[in-house]
Every structure is written in structure tokens, then in C-alpha cells.
Amino acid sequence: MSITLSVYDIFAYAVPGATYLTLITYIFTRLKWIDPQGLLHVNTTLLVIGLALACYLSGYITYPVGRALSHAIGAWRKDVRTAREEFARRVPAAKNRPFLQADLGTLRGSIEVHGTDTAIEMARLTAIGIMLRNVAPALALGAITSLVEAVRGTSPVFAVSCFVLLALASAASLWQAGRMTHWADMKTLELAFWIPNIDNELVPQSHRSSTRQRKSPVD
């Protein structure tokens, strides 16, 4: 049996899930609900498999949290229209082409069909943007946990330092997530620009026929 993991599995789900899992483990340890030292006596293979599954499932379960937070702070995100306008400024020849107004998901599918290797960079940028977006809520929760530790713990200075660092990291993650998503949209448009006949594939046949009729001379 072979298991294939994509960049989305690793960046968009496993990494954010590991962040949430680390935070939950810390909280449960502080509340004395679990004993991390007891894990040392568990079979190493089973422990690694269990942690990997836990990280992956945690990333899936918490996925809507990052998306909701990103939409709530819409000012930090550049939408698809911004990418289209910037690409049209950079490449005037693409301004009136149909692919520029097409759905980005459709363009990504076309890019993957025409060349898997060229789509890797596009997928990587998209997955990293999702990873940063989904990690931000976990870092914010970590900052709140640090604030509680500053009030009730024995090391308030260290806890306050952790609060500042985690809060800044959460804000920076959201900011960088918007940038990476914008870069991914730009990369999608750049790759789609060079796909032969992509405009003809996107424009319906009936529209092409009516366009040719309008262009034909009147008898």
C-alpha cells in the first residue's frame, strides 16, 4: 500500500493541525488532564502514526476557523479582482482576453491538465497561503493562553513575552497569508496566459459563432 501526500495535505492541514494539537496538549498538561511522560512508554511507531493522524484531522476540523477569520478581516486580503487588474497592467496584451475573467479554479484545472510540473509552484503558493491563514487562529489562542498564564502562572514576565510574540505572529500570519494568496492568483494568471487556445476553450461555442457572424461582412 502506498500513501501519497500532496502539498495541500502537508501545508494546509497537517501544519495547522500540529499547531492546534501542540496548544491543546499544553493546556491539558497544565490542567493535569494528561501526562506527557506516559507517552514515552507507548510504541514509537504507533505514537508517530497517531500523532500524524491527529495533526491531519485537527487541520481538517479547524479549517473553517481560519477561513472565517480571514473573511472577517477582509481588509487584509486582496481579492481576485485585484490580481486581475494588476496582471492586466503588467501584461496589456491580456486585458481583453476571456481567460482573465474566468474562474480561477477553472484556470488551475486547465493548468494542471496541460502540465503538472508547471502547476506545482501555483499549488505550493496556494497551500502556503492556506497554511498561514489556518495557523493564525491557533497562534491567537496561544496568545490568550499566555495571557492567562501571566495572571495565574508563576512566570508572568515569560508569559507576557509569549503573549506579545504569539499575538504578533498571529497578525503576521494573516498578513502573509493574504500576500501568498495574491501571489498564487498572479501565478495562476501568468501560467494561464501561455496555455494555447485557452480563450477558445473558455468561450461558449454559441458565443464564438455569434461573434464570427458579427465580424462577417454583410452581403
Q: Confidence class of residue 18 from pLDDT cuts 50, 70 and 90?
A: very high
Distance in angstroms (rounded) separating the CA atoms of residues 123 and 75: 24
Whole-model pTM?
Answer: 0.82
Each residue's pLDDT tens digit, 51-97: 999 999 999 999 999 988 888 876 456 788 899 999 999 999 998 89
Predicted pLDDT of residue 209:
42
- Structural contact between residues 110 and 201, judged by C-beta atoms closer than 8 angstroms: yes
- Structural contact between residues 11 and 125, judged by C-beta atoms closer than 8 angstroms: no
CB burial of 132-145 (b: ≥16 within 10 Å; e: otherwise) equals bbbbbbbbbbbbeb
Cell 487562529: give the residue: 137
Amino acid present at 45 = T
Output the CA–CA distances (angstroms, integers) from residue 180 to 12, 70, 125, 186, in the order listed: 13, 13, 6, 10
